[in-house]
Structure 1
Amino acid sequence: MDLILSTGTLHHIRDPEKVFRELTYSLRSNGEAWVYEFSHDAPWRDFKVTAKRLGRPALLIKFAAAMHGLPRKCFERGYIVRALRRAGVQYKLSYEAAMTKLILK
């Protein structure tokens, strides 16, 4: 596959290391997997930006992130980054307002 897109599912996965391996295995040599997740620990201004983009109240976005998301610290120094390293995959991490974007190659 050239592109795999996942939005708001990573927090449901019990074995992210396995999923990261399977995602990259399914990609063509120049393909990418984009994994998006809300992060409730993003700065408040990021929730305002996301709310404006989605046409929803910022407090609703913050609530959704708290209920269905992963804190950024999981990607930076927590179990997600440990799973990425154990899986041996190439990845890039970025923040798009209240969303955390993980690109696997």
Structure 2
Amino acid sequence: MKRALTLLSFGMALALASAPLLAAGNAANGKAKAAACFACHGADGNAVDPQYPRLAGQYNEYVQQALHEYKDGRRNNPIMKGFTATLSDQDIQDIAAYYSSLSTKLDTLQGHVQGD
């Protein structure tokens, strides 16, 4: 019983500590901050050119992580590194909130997977 309480306490502490990293952000602010993204990813997040990912409906946390990885160099793309260089953590949270709030038009992977 004591071990279960210790694990539960540890889990709760971990969840509380990670909450700021997974903040929801503000979708309305994110739309304004994502204006530069629209050229490639579309204003509705449903890019029509298959070389650009569709961001509409993506998981909020995934978008946040990807933007942080472009910003710190874990993902190597000079264009995205340039766009993310000046984004604050709040900007990233807001942009992720915007794109994750949108409806995706992707109903199949046909033609969207490299090699198709």
Same-fold call, TM cutoff 0.5 = no
> Where is the helix percentage greater, Structure 1 or Structure 2?
2
Structure number with larger C-alpha Rg: 2
TM bracket, shorter-chain basis: 0.3 to 0.5
Q: TM-score, normalised on structure 2?
A: 0.34
More strand per residue: 1
TM-score normalised according to structure 1 size: 0.36
